[in-house]
Amino acid sequence: MTRDHDVLVLGAGLAGMRAALEAARGGADVAIVTKVHPIRSHSSAAQGGINAAISEEDSWESHAFDTVKGSDYLADQDAVEIMAQEAPSDIIEFEHMGVIFYRGPDGKLGKRAFGGASLARTYFVGDITGQALLVTLYDQILKAGVKVYEEWFATELFMEGGACRGMVALEMITGELHLLRSKAVIVASGGLGRLYEPSTNALICTGDGYSLAYRAGAPLMDMEMVQYHPTTLAGSGFLMTEAARGEGAYLLNSEGERFMKRYAPNKMELAARDVTSRAEATEIAEGRGIDGNVLLDLRHLGPDVILKKLPQIHEMALDYLGIDMIKDPVPVRPGMHYQMGGIKTDVDGATSVPGLYAAGEVACVSVHGGNRLGANSLLDTIVFGRRSGKASAEYVKRTAASTGGEDLLASEQARLQELLQRPYTGDTPAGLRLELAVMMDKKVGLYRNEAGLREALAAIEGYKQRYARIAVGDKGRVFNQALEFVLELGYLLDCGEAIIRAALERKESRGAHTHTEHPDRNDAEWLKHVVLTHRGGREPEVSHVPVTITRWKPEVRTY
């Protein structure tokens, strides 16, 4: 069945719902398409907080500078300025919507310290900030009556005359494939953590939007910049918020030493994430780790701070490792966490494809450059979610509705039918995904080198060939998750290839991209973004875009 709207938003995390709310406010008929219920979105896993220069002693310039420095000077400074300037009012708006932000003694918003920031500017709700924002925003979506296509999985974007005019989506509960037409699409489908094993990300973070937009002609930028979070729980790889260190927790090696003093003597545990993760990896590689981990020590914070301000990580360490962080340090290690790169957009979320917008982790404005500061990702989602919602609502006013797309629906139906009929080849989507993700962590992780990246690219080629014949282990219609996983694996393969190609291109070390044969940052040659453009069956086109610099010339980066 075909349905028509002005704006379709793919994804119902913070960026998607914020975009939908703003587009609705702008008078557009908006619908959200999401493969899980909005409340299940991965925004809920953001723990520590959200940054803004709100207090009197702070300034947006300071926030912007910290962000630029954190990005290792790869972020576009015009975009960073906008984010830092608009952060206070966007956060206050969420307060007005009802988020129960922590307060200081004067009843005004209270803050905590976070990594890479020159002063405390992170606003928060315990260690469930993302969840608190997400439920509040979801309730606003309910209040506004925005239509949500819940548990609908996008299989392809609908392109007409070079512009994006909707998508084809699989309704999980019936197994029916639908054509959803619109004048604009905002891709806000989140990250790609399933490309790495281990990762802090949920099972649903499968890079859908990157691949869909890339194949529709929107270039990807900064894809080589994959963030490893310094504190992920040993074993499971679950996130232990940076707020733990923000509240004063130590990182210790096997000798009980606060080793960060040798890597970041000024900021210690609150250096930027790339710096801290590499420091941990060095400690572990030089034999001062504990079974491949270092220790996160919160004991001196006392039970009151832990139970009141960090209850969720306290519960997680207890549930999944049996460790009570009030009494014992918690083993942690660097783990894949966030993709700084993504669909290249301008500051209004517009891609180079007419009618196609992107916001949140899947987008690259670029405000995070080579390394995102903690508590800037929630901010990115609400600032650029809002801006893309507003811009799309304006765009649809001057755009005519499409009446086509039936042929795309038919070809998608045929494609899925063919997938369901394939015979078993010995490969399962889960097995292939695990091989891919372990390979990415090993060869395209914290440290990279030319030979490893070449091997990774060859490996991806092999996986793609196996993927082209992979069978779906469930032939039913209703809630066929096996079919969904096969399609998701295709998205992940596209993302993996893009990351590897971008990493091969950048012959220097900057931010999260550490190239062991080019260990230094090289501003003379590499103060620019790597951009990939999909070209059908051929290799993608690799090009460069200069970094926008407004105020802050690159400097040596120390913490």
Partner 1 sequence: MQFTIEVGRYNPEGRYADNAIPGEPFPAPWNRSPVRRYQTYTVDLPEHAVVLDALIEIREYQDQSLAVRCACRSAICGSCAMWINGHANLACKSKLQAFTKDGKTRVESPPSMPVIRDLVCDMAPFWEKHLAVKPWLQNKQPIPPPDEEYRVPNAAMEELIQEVSCISCGACLMDCESFAVNSEFLGPQALAQAYRYTGDPRDAETKERLGQYSESGGIWDCTHCYECVAQCPKGVAPLDQILKLRKLAVDAGFTNNAGTRHADAFAESVRDSGRLNELTLMPKSIGYFNVIEQLKVLPSAFNMLRAGKLPPLIHHKIPGLKRIKAIFERVGGRFK
* Shortest separation between residue 540's beta carbon and partner 1, angstroms: 30
State the nearest-atom distance from the C-beta of 471 to partner 1, in Å.
9
296 binds partner 1 (CB under 8 A): no
Give the binding-site size for partner 1 (rule: CB under 8 A).
66
* Gap between the Cα atoms of 485 and 428, Å rounded: 10
**Per rule CB under 8 A, is residue 461 in the interface with partner 1?**
no
Answer yes or no whether residue 193 interacts with partner 1 by CB under 8 A: no
Pick from 204, 437, 502, 527: which binds partner 1 (CB under 8 A)?
204
**Per-residue x/- marks for partner 1, 425-444, CB under 8 A?**
---xxxx-------------
- For partner 1, which residue of 44, 339, 371, 509 counts as binding (CB under 8 A)? 44
Contact 236, 322 (CB under 8 A): no
125 interacts with partner 1 by CB under 8 A: yes
Answer yes or no whether residue 143 interacts with partner 1 by CB under 8 A: yes
Residue with tokens 């793609």: 464
The answer to the question of residue 36 lying near partner 1 (CB under 8 A) is yes
Q: Measure the CA–CA gap between 6 and 527, rounded to whole angstroms.
A: 39
Does residue 370 touch partner 1 according to CB under 8 A?
A: no
Does 362 bind partner 1 (CB under 8 A)? Our answer is no
Catalytic residue from among 229, 333, 510, 518: 229
Which contacts qualify for 245-248: CB closer than 8 Å, 24 or more apart? Answer: 245/115, 245/269, 245/270, 245/296, 246/48, 246/49, 246/112, 246/113, 246/114, 246/115, 246/120, 246/122, 246/270, 246/374, 247/112, 247/113, 247/298, 247/301, 247/305, 247/309, 247/310, 248/300, 248/301, 248/305
For 121, list phi and psi in degrees, rounded to 5. Answer: -145, 25
Residue placing its CB nearer to partner 1 in the complex, 477 or 551: 477
Nearest approach, Cβ of 74 to partner 1 (angstroms)?
30
Instruction: State which of residues 113, 157, 226, 316 lies at the interface with partner 1 (CB under 8 A).
Output: 316
Closest CA to 338 of 5, 147, 115: 115
Residue 423 is a binding residue for partner 1 (CB under 8 A): no
* Residue 302 lies near partner 1 (rule: CB under 8 A): no
Q: Where are the alpha helices (DSSP H) in 444-480?
A: 450-467
55 touches partner 1 by CB under 8 A: no
Is there binding between residue 535 and partner 1 (CB under 8 A)? no
89 binds partner 1 (CB under 8 A): yes
Angle at CA 238, nearest 5°, toward 234 and 241? 105
Residue labelled with tokens 């999909």 = 534
Those residues with Cβ within 8 angstroms of residue 173's Cβ, 6 or more apart along the chain or in another chain: 151, 478, 479
| Residue 320 makes contact with partner 1 by CB under 8 A | yes
The C-alpha atoms of residue 445 and residue 237 are separated, in whole angstroms, by: 15
The pair of three-digit structure tokens given for residue 139, joined into one six-digit string: 């309730």
Query: Which lies closer to partner 1 via its Cβ, residue 23 or residue 316?
Result: 316
Q: Is the dihedral of CA 268, 317, 112, 12 positive or negative?
A: positive
Using CB under 8 A as the binding rule, whether residue 451 contacts partner 1 is answered as no
Binding status of residue 377 toward partner 1 by CB under 8 A: no
Instruction: By CB under 8 A, tell whether 500 contacts partner 1.
Output: no
Q: Distance (Å, rounded) from C-alpha 224 to C-alpha 227?
A: 9
Check if the beta carbon of residue 377 is closer than 8 Å to that of residue 273: no
**CA–CA dist 356, 186 (Å, integer):** 6
Contacts of partner 1 in 64-83 (CB under 8 A): none
For 303-340, b/e burial (b = at least 16 CB within 10 A) is eebbeebbebbbebbeeebebebbeebbbbbbbbbbbb
314 is catalytic: no
Smallest separation, CB 346 to partner 1 (Å): 24
Stretch that binds partner 1, among 9-17, 125-133, 220-228, 442-450 (CB under 8 A): 125-133
Among 169, 180, 295, 472, interactor with partner 1 by CB under 8 A: 472
The reply on whether position 481 binds partner 1 by CB under 8 A is yes
Tokens of 97: 């919507």
- Of the two residues 261 and 475, which places its CB atom closer to partner 1 in the complex? 475
Report if residue 139 touches partner 1, rule: CB under 8 A. Answer: yes
* Residue 83 or 157 having the CB closest to partner 1: 83
63 an active-site residue? no
CA distance 200 to 232: 7
Helix (H) or strand (E) holding 250: strand 250-252
Q: Which of the ranges 201-209, 296-304, 389-397, 530-538 carries the binding residues for partner 1, by CB under 8 A?
A: 201-209
**Piece of 256-264, 308-316, 365-373, 410-418 that binds partner 1 (CB under 8 A):** 308-316
Containing H/E element for 379? helix 377-397
Query: Could you say whether residue 106 binds partner 1 (CB under 8 A)?
Result: yes
Residue 422 binds partner 1 (CB under 8 A): no
Structure tokens belonging to residue 159: 């392109």
| Cα separation values, 210 from 94, 215, 216, 274, 534, Å | 28, 8, 10, 23, 11
**Position 318 contacts partner 1 (CB under 8 A):** no
Residues that bind partner 1 (CB under 8 A): 36-37, 39-42, 44-45, 88-89, 92-93, 95-98, 100-110, 125-126, 128, 131-132, 135, 139-140, 142-143, 173, 202-204, 236, 238, 308, 311-312, 315-316, 319-320, 322, 428-431, 472-479, 481-482, 485
Cite the active site residues. 229, 245
